[in-house]
Amino acid sequence: MHYRHEIKHEITYSDLIAIRQGLRAVAHQDPHTVDGKYFIRSLYFDNLSDKALREKIDGVNMREKFRIRYYNHDTSLIHLEKKSKVKGLGTKYSCHLTAGEAQNIADGNIDWIAEEMEILAKDPESAKKRRPLLEELYCKMRYQGLKGRTIVDYTREPYIYGPGNVRVTFDYDIHTG
């Protein structure tokens, strides 16, 4: 398990311009960008009492959140992700979903996950096809009332500085629904 520091700051547009200029002198842009940026759409999961949101706002030391995410309007590669924070250090787990699977989860149709789990449990050769993260989301949706609650769209401009393994991202044009 790999933990990393993730520090967020709100900056002004003039700060963005100045910091961007400095970064371009020492860092390179993420190779996955299109014209130096990419579009991100995420569906965040929470329960009816907004537990994940409240824990983030309250700064709870140990917390987690689930989301479905894709980039640049490309639904051929969709990720189910779980981000966890422990004492300010974050880690992320991920697995791939098809567009149909993602839509079913977003709609709350999750019985197919239980069927997949049952089929794979019967065949020892299929053990490597299991998706533990998907199974965990299924359990939390079924027994803790987790469901897709908030869609967030934004543009990300990422920079990578190899020495020190530093990644700086600017997120803007943020919209929620």
Residue 123: Cβ-neighbour burial (10 angstroms; 0-12, 13-18, 19+): exposed
Q: Which residues contact 20 (CB under 8 A, 6 or more apart)?
A: 157, 170
Average pLDDT over residues 53-76: 94
Closest CA to 108 of 140, 132, 155: 140
Whether residue 1 is predicted with pLDDT greater than 70 in this model: the reply is no
The confidence band for 177, taking pLDDT boundaries of 50, 70 and 90, is: confident
Whether residue 76 is predicted with pLDDT greater than 80 in this model: the reply is yes
Query: Using one digit for the tens of pLDDT, what is the confidence trace for 20-60?
Result: 999 999 999 988 899 999 999 999 999 999 999 999 989 88
Domains of the chain: 32-156 (3.20.100.30)
Q: Which residues contact 166 (CB under 8 A, 6 or more apart)?
A: 27, 160
Q: What is the pLDDT of residue 123?
A: 81
